[in-house]
Amino acid sequence: MSGENDAEFTGLPGVLWDPRIEAYRAPGHRYALLRDALLRAGVAVIDRVRGNVGPPVTDWAAVELRPYRAMALSAWELAERRGLVALPTGAGKTRLAM
């Protein structure tokens, strides 16, 4: 993020000046929050992030999670949906992700 006025970025969550690239940076998971905050503040935003370009899901069936998968999912949700799930091979990580 770069702009003419440093005040545009002051106080935004997770935004820090990066002298290596001479611009402000923020973690990717804060993207939507920052975009919305800048728009509310009247800052012009050029949004070059692509939307979801995959095909829409039309048929969906809920999957019954085994107890250890449900615990892993709960822990991930409590961490504000950040982080990763580490389970052994064959434990159903893909099923959990679905």
CA atoms lying within 13 Å on the CB side of residue 33 = 11
- The one-character DSSP state at 54 is S
The residues spanned by each domain of the chain are 6-40, 67-97
- For strands 23-25 and 16-18, give the pairing: antiparallel
Q: How far apart are CA 69 and CA 96, in angstroms?
A: 6
pTM of the model: 0.44
pLDDT tens by residue, 2-17: 555 566 677 787 888 8
pLDDT tens by residue, 67-80: 999 999 999 999 99
Mean pLDDT of 19-27: 88
Mean pLDDT of 44-64: 74
Q: Which of 4-8, 47-51, 59-63 has the lowest mean pLDDT?
A: 4-8
